[in-house]
Chains A and B, each alone.
Chain A
């Protein structure tokens, strides 16, 4: 019997309740992350990429609620339950928000370690060594502000590693960092994942980061997962027009512009949410969201690629 994926998300629906009635924020999201995956969720503002991560941790912001769907961690259902999320850890975009400014970092790491039921300080030092913080013993007495942005993000990753997670969820972990520092932190993440057999769900808007890190990629647009594929296939042959146009709008392809703007959560276009900006839009695109076309290892929701139904 094949083992269950580290993370399996099926039919995730999140709703935003506001004056004037509820609006859908995530619509029918399905994807899975295997043990050796670095799964990248790519999207623009309002696409729902951070919301997806918050849903996994049962930490939706005020007004947002899970309406349907299943989240399985190593086969066990956790959506809508009080079940602990043991085995999953989170790294935010802004490291300074994850560190308490008034405590020495050693004390913060120890308290996380103890909360995880660990004994002795050995795990903390090991975690600091894993993230290549030089001279960890003396740095444990320092306060967060004494670390650079890149070093703070390493501390946050070290803190996440104390949970010995099977899955690390990292939301734009390097977006706030300078390019040379970003590269070091990404290198660190992929090394740690490799060494510990840890899967990563990496949320980003940067296709450069995707190319460097991803084994698989999910492309989000207006709360929908429009395409999901192995990284090599996605870059070689993007099937969804949105994916194709996003890649073409990068410097490497001469910044080819995409007309229009990202739709607002409040009034998403009917049918396929990309149709107002899509050069291939047909009548049907304005009316119904395309069902999934399943190819080997990949899925696309586009009327240009009809499903097998």
Chain B
């Protein structure tokens, strides 16, 4: 449904160019939910933005339903913008402070030229789908709680009835006691609407809850990908293992775990290595260059 192949993306200029993506490929099939995990600088958010056509890569191509993004016609491009939506990490930063909730939700409908008489009904239905009451329509983002803001951001992502939603750290900016509500909302929306998700997250519990497959990124390459349960329970790459070992379980008295604490950093690849399929759908890169 959405496929990236051999993506190369560089930032900076002159002698200080940094290669953020080094020939990465990722495929999201219709109806599945794929998690993209990695630490700061792994390139996970950059890859998601490239796949949404928000950043133009230096190399490689992105195909939506088989058509490369750069060869989409004007009509095809409009359809892509409607069917593929992104919900950003910080709802306060991504919602326009000068728009009420109603204006925020009406804007995409106007851009995509929805008939005026359909707009109100669509806004009400979407609001209900994300668990918000109609009275929030009059409010400004600053008047909403963190959880309400994230629901508005999700509603804006849903208002055009997309087929695929890219979720960038959808709960990491939320209060602890509100995260689980929003995760259940996202799981329910996916079931109810048959949505396809591409989820960017650093929390492995969140990925396990919402995703079928996961890709692990490190310094601009994918090191391992496969079914979430299988990768989490039987990680093959040393980096995946290290990520999983860095989790702090809810068991007191175990301490931080000192053995792995001072392990040397893992080698960095300068280009995407080939992945070897070890089990069906579970692929892994060699341990080091």
Contacts and interface: CB of A to CB of B under 8 A. Distances in A.
Contact of B246 (A179, A234, A249, A277): A179
B47 to A, nearest CB: 17
Which of A149, A207, A247 has the most B CB atoms < 10 Å from its CB? A207
B135 interface: no
B89 to A, nearest CB: 14
B205 A251 contact: yes
A111 interface: no
Nearest to A211: B252
B152 interface: no
A132 B262 contact: yes
A285 B199 CA distance: 40
B253 A249 contact: no
B177 A44 contact: yes
A206 interface: yes
B39 A212 contact: no
Contact of A45 (B146, B205, B248): B146
A208 B248 contact: yes
A297 to B, nearest CB: 14
A153 B180 CA distance: 30
B184 A257 contact: yes
A213 B255 CA distance: 6
A207 B250 contact: yes
Interface stretch (A62-70, A84-92, A181-189): A181-189
B260 interface: yes
A261 B209 CA distance: 22
Given A183-B248, A235-B251, A251 B175 contact: no
Contacts of A72: none
A281 interface: no
Nearest to A186: B256
Interface string B230-266: 0000000000001101111111111111101110000
A190 B183 CA distance: 33
A232 interface: yes
Interface string B148-170: 10000000000000000000000
A183 B180 contact: no
Contacts of A211: 248-252, 254
Given A247-B250, A250-B250, A212 B256 contact: yes
Q: Which 3 A-B pairs have the closest CB atoms?
A: A251-B205, A208-B248, A178-B39
Given A179-B202, A235-B250, A258-B180, 17 more contacts: A45-B146, A180-B246, A181-B39, A183-B246, A187-B256, A210-B252, A211-B250, A234-B252, A246-B176, A249-B176, A250-B250, A256-B180, A258-B178, A261-B147, A261-B175, A264-B145, A277-B177
